[in-house]
Amino acid sequence: MDSSDVLPLKADIVAVRVSKLRHIRALQKLTRTIWRQHFPGIISVEQVEYMLHRFYGFWSLFKKRWKGENFYLIRAGRRHVGYFSYTTEHDSPQAQLNKFFLLKEFRGKGIAHAAFQHIIRRCEKAGCKSIWLAINRRNNDSITAWERLGFKVVREEAFDIGNKFVMDDYIMERRLD
């Protein structure tokens, strides 16, 4: 593993670039745990399962990684406790924070802040002027956390994701300059 593949975040907590098939399988397993823990009450259990199947299937994750989405697993000791991904496009002033999730017991410990500092550095290095993300409008705790990191709601969007489900989101943005 190259030194840029392992990022120290805090004492005994690192982010590991998803670069191997076993990482994708670990990401899938962790996603199922976190989503089933976090999203009921925000979206229906049926929508959670549909989205896990559609967006977090092995080949879906493999294709996203292959197309340039930067995935990292967050590890505390030997345990995977979260993950994030972001995308920077050549000649685009914006980066997208695609995913950022932590197990419940690891929230509020400064891990997200430390990981986000890495994302900011990488996006600035790529020439980005802002980072945007989409977040469910009912995901109040996470909206508050992103606001603390400097994000502001810039618009609302609804995305039809099939099977009669809709992602009812805020688009939030943080300027980097």
Q: What digits encode the pLDDT tens for the residues 17-67?
A: 998 999 999 999 999 999 999 999 999 999 999 999 999 998 999 898 888
Which distant-in-sequence residues (6+ apart) come within 8 Å of 168 by Cβ? 136, 137, 138, 156, 158
pTM, to two decimals: 0.92
Residue 177 and residue 174: Cα distance in Å, rounded?
Answer: 9
- Reported confidence tier of residue 72, pLDDT bands at 50, 70, 90: very high
Backbone angles phi, psi at 57, to 5 degrees: -70, 155
Residue 74 contacts residue 83 (beta carbons within 8 Å): yes
Architecture in CATH for domain 3-130: 3-Layer(aba) Sandwich (3.40)
Q: How confident is the model over 73-120, as pLDDT tens digits?
A: 999 999 999 999 999 977 789 999 999 999 999 999 999 999 999 999
Q: How confident is the model at residue 7 (pLDDT cuts 50, 70, 90)?
A: confident
CA distance 176 to 125: 11
Give pLDDT tens digits for 116-167. Answer: 999 999 999 999 999 999 999 999 999 999 999 999 999 999 999 999 999 9
Which pLDDT does position 177 carry in this prediction?
A: 81
pLDDT of residue 155: 98
- 97: which DSSP letter? E
